[in-house]
Structure 1
């Protein structure tokens, strides 16, 4: 009788170790999947504390328009010419005409230049790699100066936008973002890996101005959404939704890192399914 009880205890301990091992293995697999699917999430959080993005020119709060476009002051052009010669002309040419290493910048507008330099994507050490978000090398005034100089070389392209979030519609912004942006940036805006070692960056560190600039100018592999596709009001709505994603309302639940179903599945297996397996094992042991 004693030997039989000992055998049952050993059997239950073995089963318990198997249950715990299965839960741990599942948790490890989901953790690795999270890292593989969202490799830039940790990097973006570090950049948030560094305040990578430059300040917008204006939030347009006092305007009745959804977005106000404004070029930098022309008085900054001489400073911008000097900065461009020091940091940009090696690849883009002395008149921003482009070269075999970098594209022509003439006629792209101040918004395009401001986006690339304010997000730290430019200057770029290796033009063969995808530009990544980094702490900007130039100050806010220097960013505007370079934008003013390049914009003065040829007409064309949008000026620097200042969204008015007070007039934006969050619900419409969510709908527009889901239809046009979530496929690459994901519905929570954390970014995702695409094909050929290209990725859609996280939006967690983008300022309202930078989001509007990206929509209007189409940086990198992103399509450009001109006024014929999105009105200024629709751009304003999308910017409002992206700003909401950066500080979401998580009352009544846990944010779980904001990475979506991967984190939710991790919690479901580790806590939900794990608790059911332990409870079932305990009930089965009591019934013997």
Structure 2
């Protein structure tokens, strides 16, 4: 018969084997997950062929033409309405003819896309001047936004018209590569935004519409660089817009998205739940062995 010491040693060996097996199993499972879902284990990896195939479907925000982006000026019939709205909400800072003042910049010659971006994202009209205009629900309706854009664009030539991306022609993989190279440094690869210097931040892109993303690329709002046709073609802008719309609603087939903030949250959950569960199991088995 085995002595009590031999039985305890045997149970300790079983406990060590159980913990080692669990750790090995977790490692194997992690490797299997990386092999099966590479775009989940590394956010900069290219998305699967299935997702790329979905990207080929025409989007509701796209156009029926074969052009990647169509630029349209607001109807000139909205200019009188826009003049009235501008006088009520904008001229106090920007001047009666949008010529600018010590409180706000000159808007003449910036184009309808610039005005539409700032108004449609709720950044303007600005009730409380701050270091950086915050995104908020727009005060103006869609027609009123177009009216203000039409009025300001009529004051002086220049600047792009309002873009309408055609996501049915966009390439998701190319958009991911372009975004990683040119945008992720500030907005992060998952588009959640990040803090910059001097109380400035790169906003989250999760609520941006395709038109607003294209407008931001072409007009460079705030501290963002302006990417003209010489830097990004219309097709490349269309590709980037497609990627941004994808990260807004990604296929999290590998499990919980955990806020889309990347490996920091994933590692925290792995330590807290994975290692914590092993420790609890070890204490429980050790307690029964005594």
Fold equivalence (TM over 0.5): yes
What secondary structure is seen at the aligned counterpart in 1 of 2:70?
A: strand
Name the residue aligned to 2:102.
100
Q: How many residues align?
A: 231
Match of 1:149 among 151, 171, 174: 151
By how many angstroms is 1:287 displaced?
5.0
| CA offsets 1:131-162 (integer angstroms, 9 cap, x no match) | 11111000000000000000001111000000
Of 191, 194, 216, 1:192 maps to 194
Gaps (5+ residues) in structure 1?
A: 1-57
Q: How does 1:42-121 map to 2 (within 5 A)?
A: 59-121=61-123
Tell me if the contact between 1:98 and 1:104 (Cα under 8 Å) persists in the aligned partners: yes
The structural deviation recorded for 1:285 is 3.7
Q: CA RMSD in A?
A: 1.3
User: Residues 116-135 of structure 1 correspond to what in structure 2 (within 5 A)?
Assistant: 116-135=118-137
Cα distance between partner residues in 2 of 1:59 and 1:159: 16
Q: Within 5 Å, which residues of 2 pair with 1:132-281?
A: 132-281=134-283
What is the rounded CA distance, in whole Å, between the counterparts of 2:198 and 2:125 in structure 1? Answer: 23
**Deviation for aligned residue 1:59:** 3.2
TM-score w.r.t. the length of structure 1 is: 0.77
In structure 1, the residue matched to 2:33 is none
Question: How much does 1:268 deviate?
Answer: 1.0
SS of residue matched to 2:67: coil
User: In the aligned structure 1, how far is the partner of 2:288 from the partner of 2:178?
Assistant: 55
* SS of match in other structure, 1:161: strand
The structure whose Rg is larger is 2
TM-score normalised by L of structure 2: 0.77
1:42-84 CA-to-partner distances (Å, cap 9, x unmatched) read xxxxxxxxxxxxxxxx834311000000100111111100000
Instruction: Report if the CA contact (8 A) 2:131-2:199 is conserved.
Output: no
Aligned to 1:48: none
Contact 1:121 1:131 in 2 (8 A): yes
Q: How far apart, CA to CA, are the structure 1 residues paired with 2:182 and 2:257?
A: 24
**Counterparts of 1:190 and 1:252, CA distance in 2:** 19
Say if 2:131 and 2:200, in contact at 8 Å, map to a contact too.
no
Alpha-carbon contact 1:101-1:127 (below 8 Å) kept: no
Q: Distance in 1 between matches of 2:212 and 2:235?
A: 16
* Aligned-residue offset at 1:105: 0.4
